[in-house]
Amino acid sequence: MHILDLAGSPSPHRKSPLKWMLGIGSLAVVVVLAQTLAANININSGPVEFGQGVAQTTSCDQDGLTVTPLSTFVTSGDGYFNFTGIGLTDISSNCLGTDFLISAYPDTGSALELDSGGATVARITFDGASTDTVTSGKTGTSYFDGGIADATSTGFTLVLASSPNRATDVYKITLETQAHDTTVSYAIGDTGPAGGMIFMTPEESGDGNYYEVAPKTWWDGSFDPTIEWGDGTPACTTTLLNTGTAIGTGQANTDLITAVCSGGAAFEAASLTLGGYSDWFLPSIEELNALYQNMAVPGLASNETELSNDYYWSSSEIDWTDGDSGPATVVQDFFFLDGSYDTYPKSQEFELDQTRPIRSFAGGASIAPTPFVSTPLASFDAATPDAVTGSSWADQGSVGNNLTLTGSPALIAGANPYVAFNTGGGSSQYAMGSVGALPVGTNRMTLEMWVNFTTDPIFGAWESLFAWYPSGEHMFSLSFTHGGLGINTGNSELMGFGIASPDLRNQWHHLVVVMSTGSYTTHKIYLDGVRQALSLESDCPAGDCGTPYPTNFGNGNFSISNYEGSADEKIGALKIYRGEMPASTVSAHNTAFQSRNS
């Protein structure tokens, strides 16, 4: 723990140096405080941190960082300075994914409250991007009514929006760093990480996820919009989308709907960015029912979250055929007055319902997803001359490793001018070399491939395209099995999607896989730019595989997996990224990759 303690200064105002300096104008206050505090820091060793001298080092930043207390002048009465923030700058990239814990103390006594909720610790997760997040140190909630400003790759400012403290109250500031806390828990009615309210916990949802509903002001700052379900086009209103009704299907439903609808309820929900999160979706009918069942819980029933006693659109369609409407043109909505369901044709013009987005995130996983870093950790491409004449692909990234093809793989002509390799059947392992462990704090990684499938996804046979072996953990691989493609769960099951072999075989495809720390339900797979709805496929004769293992990135390295059976896939490109590739980037990359085969 690092303590900014002005009591150690030889200043004549030894007992209250902040009182002396805060009589200056605000700009001078910031500058002088930064210089003076840097010269008067006492660093105390402890179980979390070990510091050296007055260099302001942390366990992740031995070069030192700068801490700047901030104040704002209040003109009320005779005027005074409020303690309104703390700036941290010159933070090393080694601190990415680290939590900074900040508290302030008076001359004597316990820590000062930093916000209107009584939090005495602000925990900031430093991601080196605008997605830095702040939570409180209070048990049972992550709510903190301050925020983060000026977030860059080397620093941030903690804004104390409702601090009750005058600058003259502050005598000491403590700064502590810890590995990112991945065990934040929520109760129904708590404020979620995106600023909405939690309405389902993992125990209630049954899929390992929390569910968060957006505040009523999400649309225009006042209340939910009353809009049509779709955009009125035939593709949107008459296509059978095979959407689900159960809890856990809303996100996949929304992806299917927005692939053919460029307007309407699902489109607007998916377009929302709130609280730094853009993973909102239109809830399924059962997700709306769960929201209705918990509306009496304090927090959900608050003025910020209230829903009207009216109909709300769901993302669930009904496979209903009659002589008038035709197949699959009917969707469900939910009546929040009495909890009943109703149905309306998708194509019914001017049928207007209210809309409220929700989002879900894994319980027990890091709450803020690792920001996507567009520069790959490793990028291998068969387009390089070395790949054509030798036995390895050159690493296109900054890691400096090559993809070595051991055994006797055949280099074959791919989509001009690209060259790919295949396994030639049998079982072979192709070592990628050490890409290295993902940086500390990573809870998402993205695998991107340009691949030509030539193998039937045979039931019961595992044929892996890629695998990652975390040290001391189970292997997590992208595999064919059971007539499907997906990510194994470490217990002879596959979190994937069913695919008939003619749909994939002997064609080049753009494949993006997002693997997430925590629940297996948070993985995502995009095929040719479209997110697939994933479910568990079992390889257990009795249907009892035991509990799927949660993904844990640990400190393992990446590697190409063993190919098994008659695998004969061709891979033209392979890229590995830190963080989750946004859906918009997936779409743009898919367009670029498809042009390779045009």
Distance CA 462, CA 564 (A): 6
- Above pLDDT 90, what percent of the chain? 10
Domain boundary among 309, 328, 362: 362
Domain identity same for 49 and 108: yes
Distance CA 480, CA 485 (A): 5
Domain identity same for 232 and 260: yes
Highest mean pLDDT among 80-84, 121-125, 263-267, 348-352: 263-267
Q: What is the pLDDT of residue 30?
A: 27
50 SS3 class: coil
CA distance readout (Å), 114 to 74, 136, 197, 418, 450:
18, 9, 22, 58, 50
What backbone torsions phi and psi does residue 18 show, to the nearest 5 degrees?
A: -65, -35
| Run of H or E including 325 | none
Distance CA 122, CA 114 (A): 8
What backbone torsions phi and psi does residue 387 show, to the nearest 5 degrees?
A: -70, -30
> Within a domain: residue 98?
yes
Q: What is the pLDDT of residue 445?
A: 79
| Residue 334 pLDDT class (50, 70, 90 cuts) | very high
Domain identity same for 343 and 452: no
On the question of pLDDT at 14 being above 60, the answer is no
Q: What is the pLDDT of residue 537?
A: 64
The predicted-structure confidence for 432-475, as pLDDT tens digits, reads as follows 444 444 554 456 778 888 877 665 554 445 666 676 655 445 56
Which is more confidently placed, 199 or 369?
Answer: 199
Domain identity same for 238 and 336: yes
- Above pLDDT 70, what percent of the chain? 55
The residue count of the chain comes to: 598
Q: What is the pLDDT of residue 69?
A: 82
> Within a domain: residue 185?
no
Distance CA 112, CA 169 (A): 9
Q: What is the pLDDT of residue 10?
A: 32
Distant-in-sequence contacts of 324-327, Cβ < 8 A, 24+ apart: 326/238, 327/240
Which whole number is the average pLDDT over 189-205? 84
The one-letter amino acid at 219: W
Pairing of strands 444-452, 476-481: unpaired
Instruction: Quote the pTM value.
Output: 0.42
Residue 289, strand partner residues: none
Domain identity same for 326 and 396: no
On the question of pLDDT at 214 being above 80, the answer is yes
Distance CA 525, CA 304 (A): 34
Which whole number is the average pLDDT over 580-597? 83
What is the domain extent for residue 440? 378-540+551-597
CA angle 373, 377, 381 (to 5 degrees): 115
On the question of pLDDT at 140 being above 50, the answer is no
| Residue 229 pLDDT class (50, 70, 90 cuts) | very high
Of 1, 12, 8, 5, nearest to 106 (Cα)? 5
> Within a domain: residue 373?
no
Domain boundary among 128, 144, 179: 179
> Within a domain: residue 247?
yes
| Burial 23-53, CB ≥16 within 10 A → b, else e | eeeeeebbeebbebbbebbebeeeeebebee
The one-letter amino acid at 281: F
> Within a domain: residue 18?
yes
Q: What is the CATH number of the domain that holds 434?
A: 2.60.120.200
Residue 240, sorted as left (phi over 0), alpha (psi -120 to 50) or beta, turns out to be: beta
| Residue 592 pLDDT class (50, 70, 90 cuts) | confident
Q: Of 129-138, 355-364, 549-558, which gets the smallest average pLDDT?
A: 549-558
Q: What is the pLDDT of residue 545?
A: 58
Domain identity same for 252 and 325: yes
Q: What is the pLDDT of residue 519?
A: 58
368 CB-near residues (< 8 Å, 6+ apart): 125, 127, 131, 133, 193, 276
By the 8 A CB rule, do 357 and 272 touch? yes
Which whole number is the average pLDDT over 10-26? 29
Distance CA 520, CA 552 (A): 10
Domain identity same for 392 and 252: no
> Within a domain: residue 47?
yes
Question: What tokens does 509 get?
Answer: 């495809």
Which is more confidently placed, 139 or 504?
Answer: 504
Question: What tokens does 57 get?
Answer: 């080092």
> Within a domain: residue 186?
no
The predicted-structure confidence for 476-486, as pLDDT tens digits, reads as follows 677 777 667 88
Domain identity same for 406 and 443: yes
Tally of CB atoms within 10 A around 481: 25
On the question of pLDDT at 322 being above 90, the answer is no
Q: What is the pLDDT of residue 24?
A: 26
Q: What is the pLDDT of residue 264?
A: 92
By the 8 A CB rule, do 354 and 224 touch? yes
> For the chain, how many structural domains are there in total?
3
Q: Of 102-111, 137-146, 147-156, which gets the smallest average pLDDT?
A: 137-146
> Within a domain: residue 503?
yes
| Residue 212 pLDDT class (50, 70, 90 cuts) | very high
Highest mean pLDDT among 125-139, 218-232, 291-305, 499-513: 218-232
Is-cis flag, bond preceding 417, omega within 30? yes
Domain identity same for 392 and 523: yes
Tally of CB atoms within 10 A around 175: 22
On the question of pLDDT at 414 being above 50, the answer is no
Domain identity same for 206 and 267: yes
On the question of pLDDT at 6 being above 60, the answer is no
Domain identity same for 151 and 231: no
Q: What is the pLDDT of residue 283?
A: 97
Q: What is the pLDDT of residue 94?
A: 74
Which whole number is the average pLDDT over 376-400? 47
Domain identity same for 132 and 257: no
Which whole number is the average pLDDT over 164-179? 80
Question: What tokens does 166 get?
Answer: 């005058």
Question: What tokens does 497 get?
Answer: 């999607």
